[in-house]
């Protein structure tokens, strides 16, 4: 592996950070907790009570006093005083007796350990515990009040994604309403005179729009985003201008595809300038996706994604995602992770090279052979891509971005 050229790698990061500095998160709203899955937390989630709220049993068995177990190892027989089931208030354990207890039930007052059912012989009236005192700890099989967290403590910080795992805590500690960021409104504009609809009969010089469906599907994997409109736009300056004027009042972000390169029909940069938008970057040292553009127009984030299908996918993931997350109210929870290539070639480029890969069952990745940024067949075979820094080659580990 050769060593990367850091300033070039940082050019992408610098562009993202420059834009991010101009973006503030969308407002928060209070919504029913059961509707909050997939959103970003507005306020931190605090525990409204201890977890567990009192001492509870971790096993089905018998709650007893440790001091009443025999020291010698002889079995200890105790009459069963009562049954403690989950959902009932704690009962009291009389001396020299046992209380049958089920997982999650409140530990009876006076009990200091729980012996598993498997370690006993039961009759309808008595239980014989087959463990000596030395085999049972004080507190055995008891989940202590507050051992997970205590009332008032922060369970999840603001900006956390309400994943299924996080929803478990939100439901457990939250009130009926949860404070979350409102959904980000995103408009997709696909420029190109050659584009037509999936299913249409197309002449050889036309293509079916694949970037629009890619972006719609990609945005739909993010429940904190609402794609409010997706439309195709002809390659003329007035039509691109008109589409931006119509979209910007309804959008926090607009993703454009095509029309950002050097062609006479590439009108996106001029349209943004004409409307008084500020272009923060245009062209980055990356492949694919070099002509990518980032701008702000009337507080709306505009990303001009270069039209080739692989370029759109890569730039949406590398540059679009962190900026959308910033707007959405979090600090990039989906950072890339380091991944080794199973087999690598010695090819290198003097810029950030995003190479399509498939994950292997062994936990590494293999390169997907492809014909470049127009090859949407190779795109379809990929699970994501690795970021090979300028001048570098070999197995990595490289940053891996999943779709
Ligand atoms: N003289 C130069 N030419 C090009 C350069 C350059 O630096 N100098 N950069 C190349 C690179 S890299 C890319 S990427 C493309 C990007 O150009 P645009 O963003 O202007 O995109 P278009 O020209 O409109 O389209 C490029 C390509 O992608 C196809 N396309 C466009 N939209 C869609 C869509 N919605 N679904 C499927 N395919 C789409 C389009 O038909 C073109 O084949 O510019 C290079 N040129
Ligand atoms: O980088 Mo363009 O994005 O090569 O096709």
Nearest CA to ligand 2 atom 5: 373
pLDDT confidence of residue 333: 72
Three-class SS state of 269: helix
Identify any residues that bridge with 29 across adjacent strands, giving them in sequence order.
Answer: 180
pLDDT confidence of residue 300: 98
The minimum-distance atom of ligand 2 relative to the CA of 290 is 1
CB 205 within 8 A of CB 216: no
Q: Is the CB of 292 under 6 A from ligand 2?
A: no
Identify any residues that bridge with 197 across adjacent strands, giving them in sequence order.
Answer: none
Task: Measure the CA–CA gap between 116 and 93, rounded to whole angstroms.
Answer: 17
Percent of the chain with pLDDT over 70: 98
Mean pLDDT of 233-255: 98
Q: What is the pLDDT of residues 308-357, one digit of tens each?
A: 999 999 999 999 999 999 999 998 678 899 999 998 999 999 999 999 99
Whether 1 has a pLDDT exceeding 70, the answer reads no
Q: How far is CA 375 from CA 147, 355, 366, in A?
A: 54, 12, 17
Mean pLDDT of 24-53: 97
Mean pLDDT of 151-161: 97
Three-class SS state of 36: coil
Q: Is the peptide bond before 288 cis (omega within 30 degrees of 0)?
A: yes
Q: 67 — phi, psi (to 5°)?
A: -65, -15
Whether 2 has a pLDDT exceeding 70, the answer reads no
pLDDT confidence of residue 7: 59
Q: What is the pLDDT of residues 203-221, one digit of tens each?
A: 999 999 999 999 999 999 9
- 178 Cα–ligand 1 center, Å: 44
User: What are the chain's domains?
Assistant: 6-28+182-328 (3.40.980.10), 29-51+148-180 (3.90.105.10), 56-143 (2.170.190.11), 337-402 (2.40.340)
DSSP state of 199: T
The preferred substitution site among 192, 216, 309 for testing ligand 1, maximizing ligand atoms within 8 Å of CB, is 192
Average pLDDT value over all residues in the chain: 95
Report the candidate in 132, 101, 104, 138 with the shortest Cα–Cα distance to residue 119. 132
The minimum-distance atom of ligand 1 relative to the CA of 259 is 20
Whether 5 has a pLDDT exceeding 80, the answer reads no
Dihedral angle at the C-alpha atoms of 230, 235, 241, 246, nearest 10 degrees?
-20
- 308 Cα–ligand 2 center, Å: 6
What six digits make up the tokens of 349? Answer: 């480029």
Task: Measure the CA–CA gap between 351 and 391, rounded to whole angstroms.
Answer: 7
Q: What is the pLDDT of residues 87-107, one digit of tens each?
A: 999 999 999 999 999 999 999
């Amino acid at each position: 592996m050769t060593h990367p050229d850091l300033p070039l790698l940082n050019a992408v990061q610098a562009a993202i950070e420059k834009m991010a500095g101009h973006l503030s998160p969308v407002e928060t709203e209070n919504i029913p907790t059961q509707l909050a899955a997939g959103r970003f937390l507005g306020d931190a989630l605090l525990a409204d009570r201890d977890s567990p709220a009192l001492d509870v049993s971790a096993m089905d068995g018998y709650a007893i006093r440790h001091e009443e177990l025999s020291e010698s190892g002889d079995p200890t027989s105790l009459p069963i005083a009562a049954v403690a089931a989950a959902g009932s208030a704690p009962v009291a354990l009389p001396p020299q007796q046992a209380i049958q207890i089920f997982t999650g039930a409140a530990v009876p007052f006076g009990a200091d350990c729980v012996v598993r059912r498997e370690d006993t012989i039961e009759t309808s009236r008595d239980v014989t515990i087959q463990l000596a005192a030395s085999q049972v700890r004080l507190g055995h099989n008891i989940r202590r009040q507050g051992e997970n967290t205590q009332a008032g403590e922060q369970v999840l910080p603001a900006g956390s994604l309400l994943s299924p795992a996080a929803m478990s805590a939100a439901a457990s500690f939250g009130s009926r309403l949860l404070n979350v960021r409102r959904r980000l409104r995103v408009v997709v504009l696909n420029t190109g005179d050659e584009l037509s609809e999936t299913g249409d009969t197309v002449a050889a010089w036309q293509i079916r729009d694949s970037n629009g469906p890619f972006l719609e599907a990609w945005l739909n994997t993010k429940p904190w985003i609402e794609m409010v409109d997706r439309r195709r736009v002809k390659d003329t300056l007035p039509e691109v201008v008109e589409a931006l004027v119509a979209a910007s009042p309804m959008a926090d972000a607009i993703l454009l595809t095509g029309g950002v390169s050097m062609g006479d029909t590439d009108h996106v940069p001029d349209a943004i300038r004409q409307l008084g938008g500020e272009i923060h970057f245009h062209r980055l040292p990356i492949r694919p996706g070099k002509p990518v553009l980032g701008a702000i127009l009337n507080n709306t984030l505009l990303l001009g994604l270069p039209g080739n299908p692989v370029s759109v996918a890569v730039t949406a993931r590398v540059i679009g995602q962190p900026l959308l997350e910033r707007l959405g109210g979090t600090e990039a929870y989906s950072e890339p992770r380091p991944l080794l290539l199973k087999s690598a070639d010695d090819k290198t480029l003097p810029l950030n090279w995003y190479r399509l890969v498939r994950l292997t069952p062994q936990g590494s990745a293999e390169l997907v052979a492809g014909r470049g940024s127009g090859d949407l067949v190779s795109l379809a075979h990929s699970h994501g891509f690795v970021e090979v820094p300028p001048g570098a080659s070999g197995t990595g580990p490289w940053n891996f971005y999943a779709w």
